[in-house]
Structure 1
Amino acid sequence: MSPLKRTPPQTKSSSASTFEIPHTGKKTAEMESVQAPGAVDELNNPATNEHDSARPGTEGTSDDTTFQRRFKRKFYEDSNSGNMETIMGQMRSMFDTFSRDQAARFKDLQDSVSKIEKQNDGISKTVDFLSQRYDEILETVKELKEDKIKDKKHIQELEEKVELLERKLKGPAIEIRNLPKQLTGDNQHETKEKLCEIVKHMGQAIKVEIKDADIKDIFTIKSKVEDKKTMFAEFTSVIKKEQVVDAVLQFNKGKKNSDKLNGSHLKLNDAKTPIYVSEALTRNGQKLLYAARQFVKNHGLVYAWSYRGAIYLRKAENQKPIKINSEADLKNISIPK
């Protein structure tokens, strides 16, 4: 009986070693892949080897024959799964950090919004308070304006009444201006008797009889012009005053300046001094007369004068006189071109 031929079992060294590929002397990638741990385990598994030995065509192979086998590269689940877990852990950490950061920012934003809401509430209350105060102030200003209009009207009425009273007081009085500072040559003190003598001399010149009984009061005041003074003579009646004023106008009418009323007619030391006589005016009347004369001078009109305390203006000869009650009336006068 002949002995049985067996294929010798493959050893670990032969299975784990690299396989030779016919007609090549270099190692391929497939050969290197055999060195992977999964491939070694598969070759070392006896069940696998037995199964491979039982395959058809494996029996009767000689030892010298090179065994060639193609191995597929396995997916390394263990290493990849570890990398994915690491990446997911990092991502979870990043998301946790981002969430905490966003939560902190949101809390800060909520705190800021709460502060702004409180500030807005305070501002709203302040605005409401100021609005109420503003309405009260507007009402007060309105009342003050109405009171001002009433007061202004009342003051105007009082001024008109005072003006009328002053006109009545100065109604019978005249002003004699441009008198020399020293009225007499003997340097004696001025007395009312001497002042009355001067007025009586003037009456003789203008042909109006003036008696001591016709003069109620007489006195002098300083003038704006240096070395000159003004005399006030108050008569007992307005009629006498008007007679004197009208007579002076008639006396000066049509004469040269040198022949008009002067110091020689009143028998004063300065005989050539021109003397001006007019009715006594109130302070407002004097200001209005001055403004009217300046208006006449600036616009080339005829003249302005006073009569019974009122101020009149004439644009040209043979035209009706215009009564001036205030300086505003001067602005309303139309000037001929």
Structure 2
Amino acid sequence: MHSPPEKSSSVPDMQSIDETSPPAYVAAKTRRRNVNQAKRQEEVTLTQVQGMTAEIKNEMKELFDGLNVTQNVQINTVLAALTEIQQTNILVQTTITHLSEENVELKAKIQKMEMQAKNDKERIVLLENKFEDFQRTERKANVEIKNVPLKGDETKKDLHQMVFRLYKSLNVEVDRSDIADIIKTRKPKAERSTLIVELSNTFIKTDLLKAAKTYNLRNKTSKLSAKLMGLNAHPDTPIFISENLTPTASRLYFLARDFKTANNYKYCWTSYGKVYLRLDENTPIINVTNDAQIQQLVQK
């Protein structure tokens, strides 16, 4: 039997080739092998880079897609807010316009009311002055006798007799018929009464006032008293005779007297229901008509 023939190896014996091949051939073969390896490495590296690039692109795309979605949501939110703000601004502007129109209307109404109030005030002052003149005219022939010690049960005839006797005591001529009426008044809890005497004319009134003033100047230690009226119960009770002033004139006279004392004015008096002030004989007479006038005099 024959043994099978030995198969030749398909892989060349590189060592034998290298040992038997020329050096140039070996070097060229080595270079080719290195180039092939380098190419294979470049191909692997390029494939890896391409894969990484594709992955980065996908990640970036996903990131940008997410950012776009987020931005769209935010933009929509901002747009909605801006729309709401715009609507609010429109509403505010409309409200402001409406309020401005109302303000103009209110200003016009206020101006009209102020003008009406001014006219009403002027009319009221005019009416008050007319009423004051009317009251002054009604009282022009009246006098007041204050601090009279009456019992309280006196009749009109008794009062008439007292006033008539006062005229006689002051040496003033008067007829009984010139004493038209007498009204007795007394404040609550007051011990003395006031007699308002209505006379027939202003001449009789003026004569009585002058006579009373002259009497007090001549009798500084024993001025007008109740004994001049024939009252014997309290004969030394001082009495005071003056014009029958209106409430407004009475208040002005009170304020004027206080002003006279505080500011060293020499004269303060009433005449026919009006109040007068005078600093001295060399200054003009001031007719006091209201409270504001006295305040102006205080500020000078």
Aligning the two structures, in what range does the TM-score lie when normalised by the shorter sequence?
A: 0.7 to 0.9
Distance in 1, matches of 2:50 and 2:133, equals: 119
Q: How does 1:6-155 map to 2 (within 5 A)?
A: 10=11, 57=23, 71=34, 73=38, 74-75=41-42, 76-155=45-124
Amino acid in structure 2 at the alignment position of 1:120: N
Query: CA 1:224–1:209 in structure 2 vs 1: closer, same or farther (change >3 Å)?
Result: farther
TM alignment of 1:137-176, pairs within 5 A: 137-176=106-145
In 2 relative to 1, CA 224–293 (structure 1 residues): closer, same or farther, beyond 3 Å?
A: farther
Pick the aligned partner of 2:162 from 198, 213, 218.
198
Shift of 1:142: 1.2
Per the alignment, in what secondary structure is the counterpart of residue 226 of structure 2? coil
1:287–1:334: structure 2 CA closer, same or farther, 3 Å change rule?
closer
C-alpha separation between the residues in 2 aligned to 1:58 and 1:145? 125
Give matches, 1:238-277, under 5 Å.
238-256=202-220, 258-268=221-231, 269-277=233-241
Q: State the aligned residue count.
A: 282
Say what the alpha-carbon RMSD is for the aligned residues: 3.0
Q: CA deviation at 1:180?
A: 1.8
The alpha-carbon deviation at position 304 of structure 1 amounts to: 1.1
TM-score (norm 2): 0.84
Matched, 1:217 2:217: no
Shift of 1:332: 3.2
Deviations 1:218-267 (A, max 9, x none): 011113772121110000111111111111111112432x4110112122
Tell me the alpha carbon deviations over residues 287-318 of structure 1, each in whole angstroms, 9 at most, x when there is no partner.
11011011111112223110111101121245
User: Unmatched 5+ residue regions in structure 2?
Assistant: 1-7
CA shift, 1:283, in A, is 0.8
- Equivalent residue letter for 1:261: L
Structure scoring higher RCO (CA < 8 A, sep ≥ 6) equals 2
Structure 1 unmatched runs, 5+: 1-6, 20-49, 62-66, 184-188
Q: How far apart are the structure 2 equivalents of 1:200 and 1:252?
A: 19
In structure 2, distance between residues paired with 1:297 and 1:94 = 100
The separation in 2 between residues aligned to 1:104 and 1:303, in whole angstroms, is 94
CA distance in 2: counterparts of 1:192 and 1:161, whole angstroms? 32
Question: Which structure has the highest helix share of the two?
Answer: 2
The SS at the match of 1:219 is: strand
Taking structure 1 as the reference length, the TM-score comes to 0.75
Kindly state the Cα deviation for residue 280 of structure 1 after the two structures are TM-superposed: 0.5
What corresponds to 2:242 in structure 1?
Answer: 278
C-alpha distance in 2, partners of 1:224/1:274? 20
Give the Cα–Cα distance (whole angstroms) in 1 for the partners of residues 291 and 73 of structure 2.
79
CA distance in 2, matches of 1:242, 1:284: 21
